[in-house]
């Protein structure tokens, strides 16, 4: 197969399968579940295999794969091409997006077993894979925006998947509307870019080639607007409030969309626009600060959450904050490396949470789930490994990625950011092990109420292996590695070198601190009732009242203004005037309908009027020439 065909198969396999399942779901009733299973796994499986292959040839041969599908718009010298492009960054993204999607598809066949909307779920899921791949492989920002919106739409549909409960729908709405705010920024940035340099071509290459010509302050503005889009998608302060609520969806959705892939789209986008951000240093720093605040904030809030999925959601937000910190100081490949490892361990954590939720009567409160270590031993093992990983304990994968971020921050000289990152990372270890110790380390024993199917464990096993070993791919020099991924990606990284001694000391210090925190958590929560004695700090359990503040600051005034417009302007000014106009026309019509009285004699009279006036007019007109 040629390169173009490979890319087309990669992209279209999930789409075609989604369409096929849609047709089946639409036309037949009582379809056997295995039919959906077959098509869902076919679509995502084919794309996963092809994605790995593409990433492999890109990695080994440094070959750019391009597939031009068709021309979408062609207006004078401006044209929007629908073409796909797998450069190093794109193939790195699909390398984990497609396989992780496939694994979560397998997991979901077990999780969603016997659900009455089984078919609908997998239609969305396959469509999601399609849009995510479109977002990643897009050759120009417009196509990327389509993928961006597509994943947002699917996210909305899946958050509100259990439509019987109106709360889920509200959560979906919240996610969708907050993402609109971000999309406004993204779209405005695209428009500005188009106005400035759009006539020179609008593919990524063309844009980056012509960035020089743009005024630097305007460039900063564009970069800021783009980051607003990333804020919305990647749940950073201040547009993060949708992510915790998004946990209303089924757990595989949380694992795939709200942890491993979609929320990282913002990071990917900033990395994609790296040449732009390199020219807007102040905006980059702003990104770093936003990331730091988000990471710290989410970590603090997570320490007082009791819902297992909420904890993981805040942890996702916190980790995304780390990635943005790295992006902000110009370490793009480091951020992407953390995204890579994060996809594995966070998906694993969510899957473990999903198994627990299914096994114990859909309970999600960790206080009610104490003592389940011997009921679900595999889950305990996997989640323990994942927690060690996320806390950056060597030699697990996240140790390398997070440590790379820490040392980059340290080397960049922004110590305030570094301190915030350090505190956030210590808190990460604390809240993760708080969860683990509360869940698994207790004298209590709870019986499993519903056996989980085996299909849920296989993908978890694979992910555990990936969690353990994926970090070795990008070993830093200090451990004798050669930063394979960073060299492959070859992004416009700002290098900040640190002497090996400092780096080693930093690592050691970090790790010791984290181990200390874990020990503290063990003392407090394992085999103890520390969780029961926790003081209810309303400030934290209610996430700093951010939702309420937004409600007061934005929702209320908007509601008030809407109400004003509805009751006053709309009702009186617009409705009344339009109604009056309509009544006027009605009355005029009544008046004129008297003329049309159905009596043919009168019609003849009107003709006579016309003829006479016509004659007079013509006579006067001709009179001038006579």
Partner 1 sequence: MLKSYMILSIILFSIGVVGLISRRNIIVIYMSIELLLNAVNLSLIAISADLGESSGQIISLIIIAIAASEAALFMALFVVLFRNRGSLDANLFDILGEKHD
Partner 2 sequence: MQNEILFFILAFIAVVSSLTMISAHRPIDSALSFIVTLISIAALFALTNATFLFVVQLIIYAGAILSLIIFIIMFLNIKDDNLPDEKYKNRWLLATSIIISPFSAILIDLILRSDIAIKSVSDTKFGTIQDVGLTLFSEWVLPFELVSILLLVALVGSVTLSKREN
Query: Cβ atoms within 10 A of the Cβ of 173, count?
Result: 15
Separation of CA 523 from chain center: 36
Binder among 74, 165, 205, 596 for partner 1 (CB under 8 A): 596
Tokens for 368, please give them: 């009610």
Q: Which residues pair with 80 in a beta bridge?
A: 73
Q: Which does 596 bind (CB under 5 to 8 A by kind): partner 1, partner 2, none?
A: partner 1
Q: Which tokens in the block code for residue 554? A: 């934005």
Under the binding rule (CB under 8 A), the answer on residue 605 touching partner 1 is: yes
Both structure tokens of 361: 């009567």
Please give the residue ranges that form the binding site for partner 2 (CB under 8 A): 605, 608-609, 611-612, 615-616, 619, 626
Q: How far is the CB of 598 from partner 1 (least distance, A)?
A: 2
**Nearer CB in complex with partner 2: 465/608:** 608
From partner 2, partner 1, none, interface partner of 594 (C-beta below 5 to 8 A by class): partner 1
* Residue 549 interacts with, from partner 1, partner 2, none (CB under 5-8 Å by kind): none
626 binds partner 1 (CB under 8 A): no
Cβ nearer to partner 2, comparing 585 with 619:
619
Strands (E), 368-483: none
Helix, strand, coil in percent for the chain, rounding step 5: 75, 5, 20
> Is residue 393 a contact partner of residue 467, using CB atoms and an 8 Å limit?
no
Q: Residue 612 Cβ, how far from partner 1 at the closest point, in Å?
A: 10
Quickly list DSSP for 589-604: HHHHHHH--S-HHHHH
Q: How far is the CB of 18 from partner 1 (least distance, A)?
A: 56
Choose which of 594, 620, 622, 625 interacts with partner 1 (CB under 8 A).
594
At 262, give phi and psi (nearest 5°): -60, -45
Contacts of 516 (CB under 8 A, 6+ apart): none
DSSP state of 493: P
Residue 609 contact partner, candidates partner 1, partner 2, none, CB within 5 to 8 A by sort of partner: partner 2
Instruction: Please identify, among the stretches 54-62, 264-272, 580-588, 594-602, the one whose residues bind partner 1 according to the rule CB under 8 A.
Output: 594-602
In the complex, the smallest distance separating the C-beta of residue 615 from partner 2, rounded to whole angstroms, is: 5
Rounded to 5 degrees, what are φ and ψ at 13?
-60, -50
Instruction: Select 490 or 587, whichever has its Cβ closest to partner 1.
Output: 587
Based on the shown chain and the rule CB under 8 A, indicate whether residue 114 belongs to the binding site for partner 1: no
In which region does residue 394 sit, left (phi positive, over 0), alpha (psi from -120 to 50) or beta (all else)?
A: beta
What minimum distance in Å lies between the beta carbon of 612 and partner 2? 5
Q: How far is the CB of 591 from partner 1 (least distance, A)?
A: 11
Q: Which of 70, 532, 599, 624 is close enough to bind partner 1 by CB under 8 A?
A: 599
The distance of closest approach from Cβ of residue 618 to partner 2 in the complex, given in angstroms and rounded to an integer, is: 8
CA distances from 505 to 187, 201, 410 (A): 44, 49, 12
For partner 1, give the closer residue by CB, 558 or 608.
608
Q: Are 278 and 328 in contact (CB under 8 A)?
A: no
Binding test (CB under 8 A) with partner 1, winner from 598, 621, 622, 623: 598
Quick count: other Cβ atoms within 10 Å of Cβ 623? 8
The residue within the footprint of partner 1, chosen from 604, 614, 616, 618 (CB under 8 A), is: 604
Rank residues 195 and 612 by Cβ distance to partner 2 and give the closer one: 612
CA distance 209 to 217: 18
Judged by DSSP in three states, 307 sits in strand
Any bridge partners for residue 102, and if so which? Answer: none
Tell me which DSSP letter residue 253 carries: H
Least distance from partner 2 to the Cβ atom of residue 624, Å:
14
| Beta carbon nearer to partner 1, 535 or 594 | 594
| Minimum distance, C-beta of residue 625 to partner 1, in the bound complex (Å) | 21
Cβ closer to partner 1: 554 or 611?
A: 611
Min CB(601)–partner 2 separation in Å: 9
For residue 619, the minimal CB distance to partner 2 (Å) is 5
555 binds, among partner 1, partner 2, none (CB under 5 to 8 A by kind): none
Partner residues linked to 73 by β-bridges: 80
- Tokens 């024993």: give the residue: 445
The 10 Å Cβ neighbour count of residue 520 is: 15
Query: DSSP letter string over 464-486?
Result: HHHHHHGGGGG--GGGT---HHH
The distance of closest approach from Cβ of residue 597 to partner 1 in the complex, given in angstroms and rounded to an integer, is: 4
CB 8 within 8 A of CB 69: yes
Which one of 549, 608, 616, 618 is in contact with partner 1 (CB under 8 A)? 608
Contacting residue, 597, 610, 614, 619, with partner 1 by CB under 8 A: 597
Interaction between residue 591 and partner 1 (CB under 8 A): no
Among partner 1, partner 2, none, the one that 599 touches (CB under a kind-dependent 5 to 8 A) is partner 1
Counts of helices then strands in the chain (DSSP H, E): 27, 2
Q: With CB cut-offs between 5 and 8 Å by kind, which of partner 2, partner 1, none does residue 419 bind?
A: none
* Count of residues that interact with partner 1, criterion CB under 8 A: 11
626 binds, among partner 1, partner 2, none (CB under 5 to 8 A by kind): partner 2
Residue with tokens 């399609």: 130
Distance (Å, rounded) from C-alpha 371 to C-alpha 393? Answer: 25
Selection from partner 2, partner 1, none that 554 binds (CB < 5 to 8 A by kind) is none
Minimum CB–partner distance for residue 603 and partner 2 (Å) = 14
- What residues have CB less than 8 Å from 213, skipping those under 6 apart? 196, 197
Q: Is residue 593 at the binding interface for partner 1, with CB under 8 A as the rule?
A: yes
Choose between 166 and 600: whose C-beta lies nearer to partner 2.
Answer: 600
Q: Exposed e or buried b for every residue in 480-519, given b needs 16+ CB within 10 A?
A: eeebebbebbebebeeeebeeeebeebbeebbeebeebbe
Q: What distance in Å separates the CA atoms of residue 37 and residue 18, rounded to the nearest whole number?
A: 12
Q: Which residues bind partner 1 (CB under 8 A)?
A: 593-594, 596-601, 604-605, 608
């Amino acid at each position: 197969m040629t390169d173009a065909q490979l890319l087309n198969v990669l992209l279209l396999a999930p789409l075609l399968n989604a369409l096929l399942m849609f047709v089946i779901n639409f036309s037949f009733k009582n379809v056997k579940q295995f039919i959906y299973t077959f098509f869902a796994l076919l679509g995502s499986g084919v794309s996963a295999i092809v994605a790995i292959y593409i990433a492999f040839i890109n990695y080994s041969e440094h070959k750019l794969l391009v597939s031009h599908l068709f021309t979408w718009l062609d207006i004078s010298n401006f044209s929007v091409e629908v073409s796909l492009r797998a450069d190093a960054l794109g193939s790195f993204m699909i390398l984990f997006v497609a396989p992780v999607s496939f694994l979560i598809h397998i997991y979901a066949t077990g999780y969603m077993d016997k659900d009455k909307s089984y078919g609908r779920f997998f239609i969305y899921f396959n469509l999601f894979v399609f849009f995510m791949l479109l977002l990643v492989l897009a050759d120009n920002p417009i196509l990327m925006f389509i993928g961006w919106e597509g994943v947002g739409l699917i996210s909305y549909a899946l958050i509100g998947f259990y439509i019987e409960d109106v709360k889920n729908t509200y959560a979906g709405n919240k996610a969708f509307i907050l993402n609109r705010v971000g999309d406004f920024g993204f779209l405005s940035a695209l428009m500005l870019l188009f106005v400035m340099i759009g006539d020179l071509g609008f593919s990524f290459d063309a844009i980056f080639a012509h960035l020089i010509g743009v005024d630097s302050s305007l460039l900063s503005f564009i970069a800021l607007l783009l980051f607003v889009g990333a804020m919305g998608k990647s749940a950073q302060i201040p547009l993060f409030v949708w992510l915790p609520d998004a946990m209303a969806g089924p757990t595989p959705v949380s694992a795939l969309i709200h942890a491993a892939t979609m929320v990282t789209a913002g990071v990917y986008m900033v990395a994609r626009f790296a040449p732009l951000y390199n020219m807007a240093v102040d905006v980059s720093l702003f990104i770093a600060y936003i990331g730091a605040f988000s990471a710290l904030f989410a970590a603090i809030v997570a320490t007082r959450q009791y819902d297992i999925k909420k904890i993981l959601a805040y942890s996702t937000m916190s980790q995304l904050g780390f990635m943005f910190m790295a992006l902000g100081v110009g370490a793009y490949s480091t951020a992407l490396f953390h995204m890579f490892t994060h996809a594995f361990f966070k998906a694993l954590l969510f899957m473990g949470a999903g198994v627990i939720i299914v096994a114990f009567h859909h309970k999600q409160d960790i206080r009610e789930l104490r003592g389940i270590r011997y009921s679900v031993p595999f889950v305990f093992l996997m989640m323990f490994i994942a927690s060690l990983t996320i806390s950056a304990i060597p030699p697990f994968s996240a140790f390398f990625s997070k440590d790379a971020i820490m040392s980059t921050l340290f080397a960049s000289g922004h110590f305030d950011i570094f301190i915030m990152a350090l505190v956030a990372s210590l808190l990460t270890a604390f809240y993760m092990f708080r969860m683990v110790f509360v869940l698994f380390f207790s004298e209590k024993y709870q019986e499993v109420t519903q056996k989980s199917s085996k299909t849920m464990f296989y993908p978890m096993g694979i992910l555990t292996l990936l969690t353990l070993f994926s970090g070795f791919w990008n070993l830093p020099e200090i451990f004798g590695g050669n930063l394979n991924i960073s060299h492959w990606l070859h992004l416009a990284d700002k290098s900040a070198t640190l002497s090996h001694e400092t780096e080693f000391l930093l690592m050691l210090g970090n790790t010791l601190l984290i181990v200390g925190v874990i020990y503290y958590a063990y003392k407090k929560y394992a085999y103890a009732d520390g969780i029961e004695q926790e003081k209810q700090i309303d400030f934290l359990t209610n996430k700093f009242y951010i939702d309420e503040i937004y409600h007061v600051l934005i929702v209320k005034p908007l509601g008030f203004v809407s109400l004003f417009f509805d009751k006053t302007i709309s009702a009186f000014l617009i409705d009344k005037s339009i109604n009056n106009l309509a009544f006027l026309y009605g009355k005029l019509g009544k008046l004129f309908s008297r003329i049309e009285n159905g009596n043919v004699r009168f019609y003849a009279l009107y003709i006579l009027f016309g003829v006479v006036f016509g004659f007079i007019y013509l006579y006067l007109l001709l009179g001038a020439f006579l």
